[in-house]
Amino acid sequence: MSGRAAGIEVWFDQSELRGGDVWDQTIRKEIKSCVLFIPVISRHTHERDEGYFRLEWKLAVDRSHLMTADKAFLLPVAIDDTREDDEGVPWGDAAAYQYAQIYAQWADAATAMEWLNTAVRLRTPWLEFVKTDPLLDPLRKEPRFQSIERALKFPN
């Protein structure tokens, strides 16, 4: 079922922009007002060293820094075998942390921990919330989670 079929307002730059539109201004307005930013990535994304999509993604990452850590906003979706650790794809530092939150809530501790480890490797600023983030509560008894908490050296 598509987002529109489910009653969700969807804006997709490839199909929504028309000739004569002020593209940059329209895209920036949509990124500033959207509830969830879902960049679609693929091998094609990886192959392009430069492209407007990289600016779109950066704008979304920048906006995510204005949000609380428990607000899921940046949710990259790979439509092929592109991996999250692919250096050529601008996953954004918030994405790994947010995936950890999502998988923790789905009770998939193994996948949540993989994403949390990725967030640590990327040094996402969202890690400052690990100790208090209620969305990560299902992971607190995990030895790997406790190891990350110790490594982050939070004050007691």
Q: Could you give the dihedral angle defined by the CA atoms of residues 100, 55, 38 and 87, in that order, rounded to the nearest 10 degrees?
A: -50
Higher pLDDT, 29 or 19: 29
pTM of the predicted protein model:
0.53
- Contacts from 28-33 at CB under 8 Å and sequence distance 24+? 28/59, 31/56, 31/59, 31/60, 31/63, 32/59, 32/63
pLDDT value, residue 1:
42
Which of these ranges, 15-19, 22-26, 150-154, has the smallest mean pLDDT?
15-19
Instruction: Write out the H or E segment, with its range, that includes residue 40.
Output: strand 40-41
Find out whether 56 and 25 touch, Cβ atoms under 8 Å.
no
Question: pLDDT for 67-110, tens place per residue?
Answer: 776 677 777 777 888 765 555 555 556 678 888 998 999 999 99
CA 149 to chain centre: 21
Quote the mean pLDDT of the chain: 78
Amino acid present at 117: N
pLDDT value, residue 26:
81
